[in-house]
């Protein structure tokens, strides 16, 4: 470096791996403007509009009977769908991560399938299957069972759209961890269940929680699929997102945003938990793979 330049210039000059300061500034500006118009402003708008008619209006919009019933149904649907998918995912991850069998990667693709199905189509398949014009619909009607345009349909649609969330976190995690610890436990005389509860479950707990939190966010926020199967019966088959739609279409924007702010708050809590858990999962993976 015999350029004759003062040392400070050399030290602050752009290295081989970075851009001149003005370009850095422009790129940061472009990125932040993009995120501002698509993420930050929409998010801010939800909370500002929610309180546009004051705190009193906000509270009354949330405590109104239809809003409470919608909240109850949302909690019910998520309360059934999330545990069901959680149990399924643990079973699926156990069979896929711990054993070898033909068609394994095909099975993994099939588990991911609901992600590539439009929510509207997800709702539609149940309406067609269990609705009155369907084969099963006739039988259900004869036995006085109402699945579609009722709570069971909403639960089913929610199970479908949240199907892969937990499994796609657990399968790679359990594959990376291997099964040596389980084998050790069995050798020492533990039963299969003991091995699962005391060895496997503690090893996957953060990954499991991560998947469950994402699954729950989607379950509580699902709109398209639930909209198709709900039949829009107010106070009976309305979830919180559907309640938002009704209020908004009635030009009751402040109330719509008040309910929406509740869901947006849930999304923020989800993101915060996700950030913390991502760090935990990484740490746990490092710990359990470094043992071997």
Partner 1 sequence: MLWGFVLAVVFKKHGVLPGFKLTLGFTILYLSLIVLIPLSATFFKAAELGWSGFFDVVTQPRVLASYRLTFGASLAGALINAFFGLIVAWVLVRYEFPFKKLIDALVDLPFALPTAVAGIALSSLYSTKGWIGSLFYAHGIKIAYTPLGVTIALTFIGLPFVVRTVQPILEDFEPELEEAAASLGATRWQTFSKVIFPAISPALLTGFALAFARAIGEYGSVIFIAGNIPMVSEITPLLIITKLEQYDYPGANALAVSMLVVSFLILFLINAIQRWSQRRTL
User: Residues 143 to 172: which contact partner 1 by CB under 8 A?
Assistant: 156, 159-160, 163
Burial 187-213 (b: 16+ CB within 10 A, else e): eeebeeeebeeebbeebbebbbbbbbb
Q: DSSP state, 288? A: H
Is residue 13 close enough to count as binding partner 1 by CB under 8 A?
no
| Residue with Cβ nearer partner 1 (41 or 291) | 41
Is residue 210 close enough to count as binding partner 1 by CB under 8 A?
no
Pick from 227, 230, 237, 288: which binds partner 1 (CB under 8 A)? Answer: 227
Pick from 61, 131, 210, 211: which binds partner 1 (CB under 8 A)? Answer: 131
Question: First and final CA of the chain: distance in angstroms?
Answer: 47
Please tell me the distance from the alpha carbon of residue 87 to that of residue 98, in angstroms, as a whole number: 16
Q: Which of residues 82-121 bind partner 1 (CB under 8 A)?
A: 88, 91-92, 94-96, 98-101, 107, 109-114, 116-121
CB within 8 Å of 238: residues ≥ 6 apart: 66, 69, 70, 73, 230, 232, 246
Q: Return the HEC string of 150-199.
A: CHHHHHHHHHHHCCCHHHHHHHHHHHHHCCHHHHHHHHCCCCHHHHHHHH
Pick from 173, 210, 223, 258: which binds partner 1 (CB under 8 A)? Answer: 223
Tell me which stretch binds partner 1 (CB under 8 A): 63-71, 139-147, 185-193, 283-291.
185-193
Is residue 19 close enough to count as binding partner 1 by CB under 8 A?
yes
Q: Per-residue contact track with partner 1, 228 to 267, x per CB under 8 A? A: x-----------xxx-xx--x----x--xx--x--xx--x
| Residue with Cβ nearer partner 1 (100 or 144) | 100
Is residue 140 close enough to count as binding partner 1 by CB under 8 A?
no
């Amino acid at each position: 470096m015999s350029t004759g330049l003062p040392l400070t210039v050399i030290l602050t000059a752009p290295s081989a791996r970075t851009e001149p300061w003005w370009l850095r500034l422009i790129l940061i500006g472009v990125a932040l403007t993009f995120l501002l118009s698509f993420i930050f402003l929409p998010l801010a708008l939800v909370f500002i509009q929610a309180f546009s008619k004051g705190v009193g209006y906000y509270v009354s919009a949330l405590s109104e009977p239809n809003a409470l019933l919608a909240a109850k149904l949302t909690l019910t649907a998520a309360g059934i769908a999330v545990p069901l998918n959680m149990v399924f995912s643990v079973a699926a991850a156990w069979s896929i991560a711990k054993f070898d069998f033909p068609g394994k990667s095909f099975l993994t693709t099939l588990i991911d399938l609901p992600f590539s199905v439009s929510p509207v189509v997800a709702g539609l398949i149940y309406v067609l299957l269990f609705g009155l014009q369907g084969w099963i619909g006739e039988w259900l009607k004869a036995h006085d069972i109402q699945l579609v345009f009722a709570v069971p349909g909403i639960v089913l649609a929610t199970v479908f759209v949240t199907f892969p969330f937990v499994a796609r976190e657990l399968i790679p995690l359990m594959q990376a961890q291997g099964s040596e610890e389980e084998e050790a436990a069995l050798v020492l005389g533990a039963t299969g269940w003991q091995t699962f509860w005391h060895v496997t479950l503690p090893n996957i707990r953060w990954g499991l929680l991560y998947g469950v939190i994402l699954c729950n966010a989607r379950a509580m926020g699902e709109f398209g699929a639930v909209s198709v199967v709900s039949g829009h019966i107010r106070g009976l088959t309305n979830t919180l997102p559907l309640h938002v739609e009704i209020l908004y279409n009635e030009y009751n924007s402040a109330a719509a945003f008040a309910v929406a702010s509740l869901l947006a708050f849930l999304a923020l809590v989800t993101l915060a938990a996700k950030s913390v858990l991502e760090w935990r999962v990484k740490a746990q993976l490092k710990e359990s793979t470094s043992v071997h």
